[in-house]
Amino acid sequence: MEITQQGNSVLINGVRDLDLRETLDCGQSFRWVEREDGSFHGVAFNKAVDVSLNGDILKIDNCTLEDFKNIWENYFDLTLDYGKIRDDISQIHPILKEAASYAPGIRILRQEPFEALCTFIISQNNNIKRIKGIVQRLCENFGEKINDTDYAFPTIEKLSSLCEEDLAPLRAGFRNRYLIDGARKVASGEVDLEKCRTLPYEEARKELMKIVGVGVKVADCTLLFGMHRVESFPLDVWMKRAMKVLFPELTPEDFGEYAGIAQQYIFHYSRMHPDLLTEKN
């Protein structure tokens, strides 16, 4: 990877295994918007950027070399060799091999832990389109304004200072209570998100499940997308169907130390081929 600065942009040459749409619009982050020209606009770590990819050249606008090294290289997980991981996990099962080669540009973003926690609390019994709307309103109402059009994700302190009724503008329904409980327990230290990066997996899960409204699935997604615990294997409705129909002889443990990456390949593949999961198949 060769990195150069060009005006207000940073160019990264030689980026492999990255497709912006597959990665930013596959249900792991809910804050990226695709533009007409195929670029993506989004906010993370209090910075708003435009990202585009031409061949193997990644361009990040409104970005300094420092921001790239401190934030975006990590955010897009560019130091992990997904080609190698794909080769390895492809040996687990032929259908996984097919799913991985179907969308080889999926990467697991390294999002902010608190943002991942909140967005996956919001995700429960909900659809991706509405999740995006609620998250957008959450940022507009309670996040710091960082330019004409963009808002940072709300801080832990800000959200923990609110009550359920304050969140009414989100129209998130019963999830308001869960968001407040999560913010308060994280703010008080009762739930330690940083510890979840290194705790044994089951203990990290339990730590997050102290929050009302966080069960196994939301905990697994928070660990995978917020703490980069790539051994996590979240089972949502799609994945449960996929396991039953496509991998009846396998258990989550069979997917190994990169199960979370395999999960994303399978999740995306299943959503793109819903007919594969109907009863007769």
Partner DNA sequence: ACCCAGGAAATTC
Partner DNA sequence: GAATTTCATGGG
What would the x/- binding string for DNA be over residues 246 to 275, using CB under 7 A? -----------------xx--x--------
Q: Which of 158, 217, 231, 256 binds DNA (CB under 7 A)?
A: 217
209/191 Cα distance (integer angstroms) = 9
Strand partners, 5: 10
CA 213-216-221 angle, 5° bins: 90
27/131 Cα distance (integer angstroms) = 10
Rounded to 5 degrees, φ, ψ at 149 are -125, -10
Interacting residues with DNA between 103 and 132 (CB under 7 A)? 123-131
44/111 Cα distance (integer angstroms) = 7
* 234 makes contact with DNA (CB under 7 A): yes
* 61 makes contact with DNA (CB under 7 A): no
Q: Are 237 and 248 in contact (CB under 8 A)?
A: no
Can you read off the two tokens belonging to residue 197?
A: 């990066």
Binding piece for DNA, criterion CB under 7 A, among 58-66, 81-89, 231-239, 244-252: 231-239
Which residue, 124, 220, 219, is CA-closest to 172? 124
Give the nearest distance from C-beta 251 to DNA in angstroms.
16
Q: Are 23 and 63 in contact (CB under 8 A)?
A: no
107/59 Cα distance (integer angstroms) = 17
* 237 makes contact with DNA (CB under 7 A): yes
Binding piece for DNA, criterion CB under 7 A, among 33-41, 89-97, 167-175, 183-191: 167-175
CB closer to DNA, 80 vs 235: 235
Q: Which of 17, 20, 23, 28 binds DNA (CB under 7 A)?
A: 28
Binding piece for DNA, criterion CB under 7 A, among 33-41, 91-99, 210-218, 250-258: 210-218
Can you read off the two tokens belonging to residue 52?
A: 């585009």
CB closer to DNA, 10 vs 252: 252
Give the nearest distance from C-beta 41 to DNA in angstroms.
20
Interface ranges with DNA (CB under 7 A): 26-28, 123-131, 168, 171-174, 209, 212-219, 221, 234-239, 263-264, 267
